[in-house]
A and B are shown apart, each in its own frame.
Chain A
Amino acid sequence: MYPWIWRHLPGNAWVKSLIALVLVLAVVYALFQYVFPWAEPLLPFNDVTVDNNGMQAVTP
């Protein structure tokens, strides 16, 4: 995959490196902004309440 991307980037090695860097940063941004916030509730670190739903059920 990576060699394939490298071959299809335009320009000489310097330009390719620059574009690759921008691509990497874009991927990291997308991960931090969208993917990880979505994945985080699937992990146990967010469960700090005692039976959230039960408590809200008794709320008028």
Chain B
Amino acid sequence: MRSRRAVRALSELCLTSGALVVLFVVYLLYWTGVRADSAMDGEIGRLRDQWARHGGSAAVAPPTVPDAPPGEPRPDAAPPAPAPVPAPADGTGVTAPAVPGATASPAPPASPAPRTGGTAAPAAPPRAGAAFAVMYVPRFGTDWAKPVLEGTGLDTLKRGLGHYEGSAPLGGTGNFAVAGHRRTHGDPFKDLPRLRPGDAVLLTDGTTWFTYRVDTRPYRTAPTDTRVLDPVPAAAGYAAPGRYLTLTTCDPEWGHSHRLVVWAHLETTAPAAP
């Protein structure tokens, strides 16, 4: 009789813990995604409302980005600029590689990139946890749009991508660094390993469109390797100061032993509401 009760208790324990594990998997794979998707849609909707109120006609769809064939600069891709903005005297941000995507090593500085000065950096840094930009990556799908929030806290990353506090502002000289979940919470950076040199990463802050070009294949590194966030990340092959973008996520897909990093440089900027 006693052994019978023990067996019964044991089987109940197994059933209960099994159900717990299944529920937890459902929570991770499904429920966090549902919550994150609605939170991210909400953030994007709030941003667009805000831009519509303050900025006249807001940018609601990315401009058509020509998938520039590697090695061929597309002068017509640049927006019609009223006048070329003079390059900063210190030469920062004017050496965009002329051949985006041909190689991961830095292309020799060719010509000053058109219009990468002036309109870029916002005046005040956004409030921690607040969304301030929307990112589009055509490689991830035409409907892929995620909000970028200030900070990389756990709660922030549940509502979108996180901009590393202390890294450069969007479009500014230095390194604009963004982290995102690869798995769970909407899987925003699930396809980060599929990014290839030459891919476009578009960002808008409501007034300006920033088009970044990916320069490197996904780079695997240690979690403590903060040098990937340097203003001039050497591992990307950049040599001169410029306006760079860094995307980080975890690697392997479900683990945390490494990080996956992709770098891009600012190619063009365009006014969001011409």
Interface residues of A (CB under 8 A from B): 1-2, 28, 31-32, 36, 39-41, 43-52, 54-56, 58-60
Q: Distance (Å) between the CB of A25 and the closest chain B CB?
A: 12
Contact of B154 among A46, A55, A56 (CB under 8 A): A46
A34 to B1, CA, bound (A): 39
Instruction: Give 5 nearest A-B pairs by CB, closest first.
Output: A44-B256, A59-B166, A47-B256, A49-B179, A36-B27
Choose one: A28, A47, A56, A58; the contact of B223 (CB below 8 Å).
A47
Question: Which residues of chain B from 234 to 274 have any CB-CB distance to chain A below 8 Å in the complex?
Answer: 248-250, 254-256, 259, 261
Are B256 and A32 closer than 8 Å at their CB atoms?
Answer: no
Which residues from A are CB-within-8-Å of B185?
Answer: 45
Q: How far is the CA of A45 from the CA of B24 in the complex (A)?
A: 13
By size class, the interface of chain B is 35 or more
Q: Are B256 and A2 in contact (CB under 8 A)?
A: no
Q: Interface SS of chain B: helix, strand, loop or mixed?
A: mixed
Binding site for A on B (CB under 8 A): 9, 12, 20, 23-24, 27-28, 31-32, 152, 154, 157, 162, 164-167, 179-185, 189, 221, 223-226, 228-229, 248-250, 254-256, 259, 261
B255–chain A nearest beta-carbon distance, Å: 5
Inter-chain residue pair count (beta carbon < 8 A): 90
- For the complex, give the distance between the alpha carbons of A22 and B49 in Å: 40
User: Is A55 in contact with B248, judged by CB distance below 8 angstroms?
Assistant: no
Contacting pair B154 A49 (CB below 8 A)? no
Distance (whole angstroms) from the CB of B87 to the closest CB of chain A: 28
Least CB separation from A28: chain B residue: B23
Given A47-B223, A59-B165, are A52 and B9 neighbors across the interface (CB < 8 Å)? no
Q: Are A45's CB and B225's CB within 8 A?
A: no
Q: In the assembly, what is the distance between CA of A60 and CA of B125, in Å? A: 13
Within 8 Å by CB of A48, from B28, B228, B248, lies B248
Is the beta-carbon distance between A55 and B250 smaller than 8 angstroms? no
Q: Which residues of A contact B9 (CB under 8 A)?
A: 1
Measured between alpha carbons, how far is A52 from B256 in the docked complex, in Å? 13
